[in-house]
Structure 1
Amino acid sequence: MNGVSVVIPMFDEARHIIRTLQAARAAADAAGVACELIVVDNGSHDGGPALAEAAGARVLHHPGLHIGALRNRGAAAARYEGLAFLDADIEVPLDWLKQWISRNERGDADVLALACDTPAQAPWYACAWQRRSLPATAELRPNWLPSANLCLTREAFEATGGFDEQLRTGEDKDLGLRLHHLGARQLMLKSPTVLHWGYEGSWHEWFGKELWRQGSHWQLMNNQGHPRWRLLRFPLLALSNWLPTLLALSAALGGLLPLALISGSLSTVPALLLSLRQSARQRDLSLTLQLWILHWLRLHLAGGAFLLSLFNWTARRPARG
């Protein structure tokens, strides 16, 4: 491998971009590999682009594009055969690239990502929501990896045609599934972790992000010219979860308290099952209770976002990376 090009999409990330760039540069130095830092700006209104240039990054300006298009523009400008996609609010550990290069050279992984965690000062709901995705084992071999930190060869990336530029969200899952179809070996390591500094600092931000994230299920399902019906499982579960909630509200308004209690309890069952499934990996009862609340809220948000997406309306949010 002649070097690694680190591609970082960005929108209004002046508060995080220096930390992200410095950590990526330090990881390249620790790995002893040539590295270029490419920031693809989506029309920032803060001083992020100037800060990135001062920190030694090459800044490309492409306002108004979806996140996949931003990453593709950065990859097209990259000069090295190793590609690393990094979100602008992610701090990588020193051995990030060392892990990737050694795994790739010994034929252990074509695509690699490190598990993502939150800084200690993040609020409980942001910490719990991030911890739900931590793998149970030291190594996990899924059929797709998130793109908050994603390392792969240019050859593997170009074999897929790159990220789908029409997707508002879910572009990493779409790319990963196509890589899986091509036989790529994808690996997530539980340790070391990267830190997500762009955690949700308020409930308003958490609700907004989840509504936006859930807005591409229908589009993702119909991508690549043939429907992927399995991707409908979660939005259909979310829609079905509305039924006992609406029944509970109707019963409560009608003075039927026993029916309201029964229906309300039924509406929490899917969220409980999801929380048990994810928290079992961490063996933490407090995490189970926290995720139970968050999954109940998310299911209702997901159902609404899916219905809105059928009418081509989704929460608008600039591609941040």
Structure 2
Amino acid sequence: MNAAAAPATPPGLGMVIIGRNEGERLRRCLESSQAVGERRVYVDSGSTDGSVQLAIEAGAQVVRLDMSQPFTAARARNAGLRELRRQCPGVTLVQFIDGDCELLPQWLGSAERFLTQHPDIVAVAGRLRERFPDKSVFNRLCDIEWNTPVGEARSFGGIVMVRVEAMDGAGGFREDLIAGEEPELCVRLRARGGRLWRLDEDMAWHDANMLRLSQWWRRTLRSGHAFAEGASLHGQPPERHFAGETRRALLWGAALPLAILALACVTPFAWLLLLAYPLQWLRIGLRLARSHAPIPWLQGGFLLLGRFPEALGALKFYRGRLVGRRSGLIEYK
């Protein structure tokens, strides 16, 4: 696959690109979106690497976020959509994309046709692939994460085509969320009767550039924060948004280790409880192997190890809520 020049797109389709110091990744993103022409808005969150000039030279409309307010991807996407509608009042569909991604040539046309043929679908995404999956185990794990089930979906990520009318009805992204803003929006879209779909078609390349354990740790910590905050918003039945994910993170990443340490003060047999971790790894690995996951035991090991940074992220959210202070952006690049 490559991101060669794509055919012209329908006049009702626009694009919002967000980024912060993405460098060469942003250049590839802009080149892959040339078919949209003037109906592109690039929103910059305080870049210092020349990203703004790069976007201007590529012919995109540019929005620079006010640096006096906290940056979030949600805030950037909302600002981009507002500017897109100001510049192109007739836009009915918006393709959101992050600056570290590169659209595939056929995607915009395929997604637009699907939404035209299915008026009950409000958002559509495709297969996002990691550009360099063999560069690190962390990139490989990202590529596996992007491979979500085909068909009707409960949520989408940051690379998605959405009906502008549906975005308006749901109120857009929650700008105060530092992560997990896409699935939170999906909860509100579905609550209004909107349906989401994942096509069996390649959509874009993604360049995580995640080469170190510390990057993976921070990204996973951010996920834990998103789980806890999402559950605080929509965790009650029937939605139970991120309730299970938060519960698992706190159980395996906080409650069980603390229980072992506490019981060890009473009896040395408490350390036997550590056997729960290899047993859990075995259970996860077997489940992944049965589902034909490409690297089930390695993936299972990182899923289990990830409970610790997830728990820290969740506790970070709870601490912030307790003292009345919101968390700042958690970046891994």
Contact 1:16–1:197 (8 Å) recurs in 2:
yes
Quick one: structure 1 residues 251 and 172, their matched pair in 2 at CA, closer, same or farther if it must change by over 3 Å? same
Percent identity between the two aligned chains: 19
Equivalent residue, structure 1, for 2:71: 65
For 1:75, the equivalent position in structure 2 comes to: 81
CA distance in 2 between partners of 1:318 and 1:255 (Å): 39
Task: Say yes or no: does 1:24 pair with 2:36.
Answer: no
The residue number in structure 1 matching 2:310 is: 302
Give the 5 Å matches for 1:212-227: 212-223=222-233
- Which range moved further: 54-63 or 211-220? 211-220
Counterpart CA distance in 1 for 2:289 and 2:55 is 38
Q: Structure 1-normalised TM-score? A: 0.84
1:163/1:172 contact within 8 Å kept: yes
Matches of 1:193 and 1:131 in 2, distance apart?
15
Instruction: Tell me how far apart the structure 2 counterparts of residues 255 and 276 of structure 1 sit (CA, whole Å).
Output: 32
Match of 2:49 among 18, 22, 46: 46
- What is the letter of the counterpart of residue 311 of structure 1? R
Are 1:2 and 2:14 counterparts? no
Instruction: Supply the AA of the counterpart residue of 1:131.
Output: I
Which residue of the partner structure matches residue 101 of structure 2?
Answer: 90
Q: Paired residue for 1:122?
A: 135
Structure 1 residue 5, shift from structure 2 partner: 1.4
Q: Number of paired residues?
A: 308
Secondary structure of residue in 1 paired with 2:24: coil
**Do residues 185 (structure 1) and 191 (structure 2) align?**
no
2: CA distance, partners of 1:144 / 1:235? 17
Structure 1 position 107 matched with structure 2 position 118: yes
Residue 303 of structure 1 and its aligned partner are, at CA, apart by 1.1
* Corresponding position of 2:3: none
Superposition deviation, residue 150 in structure 1: 0.8
Within a 5 Å distance, the mapping from 1:214-293 to structure 2 comes to 214-223=224-233, 229-241=240-252, 242-246=254-258, 256=268, 260=271, 262-274=272-284, 276-277=286-287, 280-284=290-294, 287-293=295-301
Structure 2 gaps of 5+ residues are: 1-9
CA RMSD of aligned residues (A): 3.0
- The Cα shift of 1:213 comes to 2.6
Q: Distance in 1 between matches of 2:329 and 2:53?
A: 22
Q: Name the stretch that deviates more: 172-181 or 122-131.
A: 122-131
Closer/same/farther in 2, CA of residues 193 and 76 from structure 1, 3 Å limit: closer
> Per-residue displacement from partner, 1:186-223 (whole Å, max 9, x unpaired)?
11124314211133121111111111232133332333
1:152 pairs with 2:158: no
Residues 278 and 86 from structure 1, CA distance in 2 versus in 1: closer, same or farther, beyond 3 angstroms? farther
Partners of 1:277 and 1:259 in 2: CA distance: 28
- Give the distance between the partners of 2:300 and 2:260, measured in 1 at CA: 18
CA distance change for structure 1 residues 318 and 299 in 2, over 3 Å: closer, same or farther? closer
Q: Which residue of 2 aligns with 1:31?
A: none
Structure 2 CA distance for aligned equivalents of residues 219 and 122 of structure 1: 32
The aligned amino acid for 1:16 is R
How far is the alpha carbon of 1:42 from its aligned partner?
Answer: 0.8
**Residue by residue, what CA displacement relative to the aligned partner does 1:61-109 show, whole Å, maximum 9, x if unpaired?**
0033322111111101112221111011011111110111110111163
Q: TM-score, normalised by structure 2?
A: 0.81
Q: Which of residues 194, 199, 217 is equivalent to 2:209? A: 199
